[in-house]
Amino acid sequence: MPQTDETPTPTTENTPSQEGRATRPSTFSHAKTATIAERIRSARIAANKSQQELAGKTYSKAYVSAVERGKMTPSVQALGVLAGRLGLPVSFFLGESDADLSVLAESAAATLPTSEQHRKAREDAVALMLGEAEYALRRRQADEAIERLGGDEPPEDLSAMQRPRWYWLKGWALVLKQFHHEAISTLEKGLSVTEHCAQAPQPQKGMLAELAERLRLALGSAYYELRQLELAVEYHRRGLQAATDGIVSDPELKLRMYVALCHDYLLLGRHQEAASLYDAVKEQVNEAVNPLAQPAIYWGLTLAHQEAGDLIRARMNVQKALMAEELQENVALSAQLRSLFGQILVQLGKFEEAESNLKQSLSVAERTGDETTRGLTLASYADLYLAEGRQEEALKAVREGLQVVAKTKDKRTEGQLHLAAAAVHEAKKDAKAAEGDFKQALSIFQQTEDADLIGRAHEKYGKFLADQGRFQEAYEQMHLARSAHLRHNQN
């Protein structure tokens, strides 16, 4: 699953104290490498102007925010207007000259009463502390972030609007440190604090509502890491609903919610639900510029091509998904992807390569205690052994898999293992045992209410009955299969 460090930067431009006014350098550093965006932001902060003040009546605050984040490049005319308002030459923003930004800070400070200077100095220090902590987390430097954030509770002089963000950052750091129970406790406190800010001024309510969803996303990630996947799904689904309802406006945050829930479903083996989210992910992101979405997109393509019987393209996309997950160091999903890769290779008749991938998947699943992936991999092993004619080894893999899923109560994998057992018994000419497993698989799949799985099971059972010469019963199973597939397509 995607790690919590993938959580996007919150929108913090709503109040002056959250615009980073604390970073007032006396001189501008990294002059030759700094971008226009960095120069505009540094100059604005040094001048103690808000984004709205810099925008004035000519532009919107959203425009200035986009320019500072490097999402938009101002025209020469716009750059001239912004430079004039900041009292600096255009050449400074183009990297052709340097500037002493302390002059801007002194000029701005001179216009403030002493008490106001103290208040702003404290706001600046707090904003700087939170900003530095978040920057450290984005570089996966959890210890540095924790040092910036201080103790187990937020500083007493932190404002009510800043406390939820402190809890979010501290929870994020704890997840990176793999202190998941402590992270959950911290993030839940943050949610409680956020809810108590319900009487906040109207301009800040939207920011708090979105921050609450960031806290939920992080909570889901913590539960995901603890393999409490149903709780992870609960938090991630709630976040996605908030995005659908318009509470979340940040497109990157929406994307992360889709991807997080997709990962939950994949690790639970609920591949069809994950595949349905894939279409939504495609609408949210261009895969070429969003590495986070690549595993989900390629995984969705794998499932789509596998379902369509295009195993060559399925293989190509599962390899891309595997590479993307491993680059993001998602061990659990990488293991499950290798299991899926092995399954596709079995279907392609690449038995040696299939066994190599399944072996790696099983090793990781056993080492991490991931029983869901272990069960799925054992089911794929059963298919491999059956394809190679190793019937007794196939049955052994099925029995071991059924013992594993008995602990996880993973009905989907349990049903698939019974289908594998049915195929083995059919190969051994034990029709009675095979039929028992087909019926058991159908009974289990009915509990999942997954129309696609139910339809496939009816179809396989129907083919078995036809091979036994029981054509009327086979026809009934095929009719049930068609009805289930129609239900699946309607959903």
**What is d(CA 8, CA 4) in angstroms, rounded to the nearest whole number?**
9
- pLDDT at 146 > cutoff 90: no
Q: Which residues of 25-36 are buried (b: 16+ CB within 10 A; e: fewer)?
A: eeebeeeeeeeb
Q: What is the mean pLDDT of residues 393-401?
A: 93
Instruction: Measure the CA dihedral 355/356/357/360, to 10°.
Output: 120
- pLDDT at 446 > cutoff 80: yes
**What is d(CA 223, CA 217) in angstroms, rounded to the nearest whole number?**
10
- Residue 59 belongs to what H/E stretch? none
pLDDT of residue 6: 36
Lowest mean pLDDT among 6-20, 205-219, 424-438: 6-20
Q: Which spans in 35-149 are helix H?
A: 36-46, 51-55, 61-68, 76-86, 90-93, 102-110, 114-138, 142-149
- pLDDT at 293 > cutoff 70: no
Q: What is the mean pLDDT of residues 268-286?
A: 67
Contacts (Cβ under 8 Å, ≥6 apart) of 251? 284
Which of 121-125, 235-239, 396-400 is modeled with the greatest confidence? 396-400
pLDDT band at 113 (very low <50, low <70, confident <90, very high): low
What pLDDT, in 10s, does the model give residues 452-487?
Answer: 788 889 989 999 999 999 999 988 998 898 888 777
Q: What is the mean pLDDT of residues 215-244?
A: 87
- pLDDT at 297 > cutoff 90: no
- pLDDT at 81 > cutoff 60: yes
Better-scored residue on pLDDT, 298 or 426: 426
- pLDDT at 27 > cutoff 70: no
pTM for the full model?
0.50
**What is d(CA 275, CA 281) in angstroms, rounded to the nearest whole number?**
10
- pLDDT at 354 > cutoff 80: yes
- pLDDT at 438 > cutoff 90: yes
pLDDT band at 399 (very low <50, low <70, confident <90, very high): very high
- pLDDT at 381 > cutoff 90: yes
pLDDT of residue 9: 35
Lowest mean pLDDT among 288-297, 374-383, 454-463: 288-297
Average pLDDT, the chain: 78
pLDDT band at 19 (very low <50, low <70, confident <90, very high): very low
Least Cα distance to 341 among 330, 331, 356, 329 occurs for 356
pLDDT band at 342 (very low <50, low <70, confident <90, very high): very high
Lowest mean pLDDT among 113-127, 158-172, 228-242, 293-307: 113-127
